[in-house]
């Protein structure tokens, strides 16, 4: 009389488990890429909303781009202005200024605990902040849940061009111009008609979130903490607060990022296509193209590398 087997043997169970583990190991990386692709698409969608907000701002302000920040006021700390000037023209308000590939702690969450606003900022409201709203600052140190803490920001503005404080000024506006600003006039906002090739000029891109001046970006070698980010398809938070920078420690990568160009369209670049390293020296080569897309005159300005 034959006996029907009703259970798997240990070897058969081990084989099944091994097959399942193999399938999971094959599927998880693919799912991770799908999730990251979705995040990048959402980031690109946010930048398209920024493009609409930017066009609306220009329509209301004689075709000027906003400047990155101002130091107007007795406090003389940096007050970021491009974000607050675009915010009124967006539907998602602060949400579009956070890329979901970044740490959730880097969301822009307004705080209305600035009880010394009138003493610190003489004209904060004209830049788009509420009377008691704590402005975004150079180090993004803000009042959150009873304490002042450092918080990163996930997007950077091309207010300076290839490098900061160049004369002639090469970016969209480093400092918001104000009366009696002295030399600051060199770095004030520019008009749309001052840009030679807006379709090939960077306006807003991912920032390398290290909590130091995250709201602006440049391409210059030796200042990797101001480079555009390498957020997508790369490990998150590649820069940590307090770390130094070098092209050896933070080499440019093939990580991709959506980039809002000055004419309002969004393109995708690899980080290596956006930054200059210390070994680049040929303005007629690929590095020249990298440099040109940062500057309003669409020239490489190799003397600033």
Side-chain-side CA neighbours of residue 178 (13 Å): 14
- The 10 Å Cβ neighbour count of residue 73 is 18
* pTM of the predicted structure, to 2 decimals: 0.81
For the chain, what are the domain ranges? 52-304
Query: Residue 209 above 60 pLDDT?
Result: yes
- Of 140 and 152, more confident: 152
- Stated as kind and residue range, the H or E segment containing 60 is helix 10-60
Spatial separation of the C-alpha atoms in residues 182 and 168, rounded to whole Å: 15
| Model confidence at 178: pLDDT above 60 | no
Q: Which residue from 305, 274, 294 is spatially nearest to 206, judged by alpha carbons?
A: 274
Average pLDDT, the chain: 79
pLDDT at 63: 95
Comparing 231 with 92, the larger pLDDT belongs to 92
From first CA to last CA, the distance across the chain in angstroms is 88
**pLDDT (0 to 100) of residue 52:** 95
Please tell me the predicted confidence (pLDDT) of residue 224. Answer: 79
pLDDT band at residue 263 under the 50/70/90 scheme: very high
pLDDT for 293 equals 95
pLDDT at 43: 84
Q: Residue 158: how many CB atoms within 10 A of its CB?
A: 32
Q: Is the pLDDT of residue 61 over 90?
A: yes
Using alpha carbons, select from 269, 246, 300 the residue that is nearest to residue 43.
Answer: 269
Q: Spell out the residues 6+ positions from residue 79 whose beta carbon is closer than 8 angstroms to its own.
A: 69, 70, 71, 72, 73, 121, 124, 127, 129, 135, 136, 137
- Contact partners, residue 4, CB within 8 Å, separation at least 6: none
Write down the pLDDT at residue 177: 67
Highest-confidence range of 225-229, 259-263, 275-279, by mean pLDDT? Answer: 259-263
pLDDT score, position 53: 96
Above 60 in pLDDT, residue 24? yes
Lowest mean pLDDT among 19-33, 237-251, 256-270: 237-251
Q: Would you place residue 57 in the very low, low, confident or very high pLDDT band (cuts 50, 70, 90)?
A: very high
CB 257 within 8 A of CB 230: yes
Cα 3 to chain center, whole Å?
69
Segment holding 149, helix H or strand E: strand 147-150
């Amino acid at each position: 009389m034959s006996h029907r087997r009703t259970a798997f043997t240990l070897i058969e169970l081990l084989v099944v488990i091994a097959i399942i583990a193999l399938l999971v190991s094959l599927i998880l990386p693919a799912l991770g890429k799908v999730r990251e692709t979705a995040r990048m698409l959402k980031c690109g969608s946010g930048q398209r909303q920024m493009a609409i907000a930017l066009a609306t701002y220009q329509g209301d302000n004689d075709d000027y781009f906003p400047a990155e920040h101002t130091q107007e006021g007795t406090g003389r700390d940096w007050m970021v202005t491009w974000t607050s000037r675009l915010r009124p023209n967006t539907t998602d308000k602060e949400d579009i200024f956070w890329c979901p590939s970044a740490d959730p702690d880097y969301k822009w969450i307004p705080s209305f605990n600035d009880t010394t606003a009138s003493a610190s900022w003489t004209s904060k409201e004209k830049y788009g902040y509420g009377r008691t709203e704590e402005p975004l600052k150079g180090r993004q140190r803000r009042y959150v849940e009873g304490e002042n803490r450092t918080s990163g920001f996930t997007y950077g503005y091309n207010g300076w061009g290839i490098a900061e404080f160049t004369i002639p000024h090469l970016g969209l506006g480093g400092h918001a111009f104000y009366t009696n600003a002295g030399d600051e006039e060199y770095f004030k906002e520019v008009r749309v008609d001052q840009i030679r090739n807006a379709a090939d000029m960077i306006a807003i891109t991912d920032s390398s979130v290290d909590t130091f001046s995250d709201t602006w970006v440049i391409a210059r070698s030796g200042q990797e903490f101001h480079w555009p980010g390498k957020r997508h398809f790369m490990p998150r938070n590649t820069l940590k607060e307090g770390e130094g920078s070098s092209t050896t420690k933070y080499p440019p990568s093939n990580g991709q990022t959506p980039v809002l160009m000055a004419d309002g369209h969004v393109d995708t670049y690899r980080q290596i296509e956006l930054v200059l390293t210390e070994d680049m020296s040929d303005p007629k080569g690929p590095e020249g193209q990298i440099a040109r897309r940062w500057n309003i005159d669409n020239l490489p300005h190799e003397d600033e590398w």
